[in-house]
Structure 1
């Protein structure tokens, strides 16, 4: 009986091991697809993060270079203005030079012109209901034009 019990234990253990291997095989087979998918998704995520970081660096470089170029442009414009102001004293009559390169005068003229344009635009009467638009011709034109006109 002892021998028979030992034999039954080995048979049950062997069957248990075979069933365990079969279940493990199917479990690995089922989950391996999701593991592969997860690894693929992680690698794609890393790639996208790298691309975004590269794009961010390119944008930062672009704006830094643009700022430097605008700064040099402003400096060049300032040097040009100073050159013209100095040259105007030597080359133009004194009254004309003062009028052209007086910054306060330029600012005042610009403000006055802007104010005049605003006032004239606001003060003009608008009779859209009665007045015909000025881009229409009087009467017929082209093929519909009568010979009498």
Structure 2
């Protein structure tokens, strides 16, 4: 304790300046890191919010496609019912033997005609080549 009492004015001045500089540096450090921490927390909140929005969007898409699949299934079943009805009606209303099998054959032929083979390209293609390499 006697050492502190024996300090000269210059030593007290140096200690005071050091303390003052320390406070200024601490204040600057805190203010700089405080903004950084604030930005980090804001970024973390935004990230969490984006993840929640993404998850809700994903759930909406899954629900949409599940409902669409169910609707297409129902639609396909309805088309099958219509086809059976027309086939049955054609048998009853058109007793001619040629016409009975005609309705069913057209269904069978339509499946074959939609098959994509090298000889039978998709119907959206033009006849022959139409590009730059056309001879």
List per-residue Cα deviations over 1:102-147 (Å, max 9, x = no partner): 3xx54347647999x95xx67xxxxx99xxxxxxxxxxxxxxxxxx
Aligned length: 117
Alignment match, 2:123 = none
> Is 1:86 matched with 2:88?
yes
**What CA distance in whole angstroms lies between the structure 2 residues aligned with 1:109 and 1:25?**
82
RMSD between aligned alpha carbons? 3.6
Unpaired runs of 5+ residues, structure 2, are 121-126, 129-133
Q: Map 1:13-52 onto structure 2 (within 5 A).
A: 15=16, 18-52=20-54
Structure 1 residue 6 displacement after superposition: 3.0
Higher gyration radius (CA): 1
Unpaired runs of 5+ residues, structure 1, are 123-127, 130-149
Change (3 A) 1:78 1:113: closer
Structure 1 residue 23 displacement after superposition: 2.5
Alignment match, 1:6 = 4
Equivalent position to 1:62, from 56, 59, 64: 64
Change (3 A) 1:39 1:85: same
Change (3 A) 1:50 1:113: closer
Query: TM-score under structure 1 normalisation?
Result: 0.61
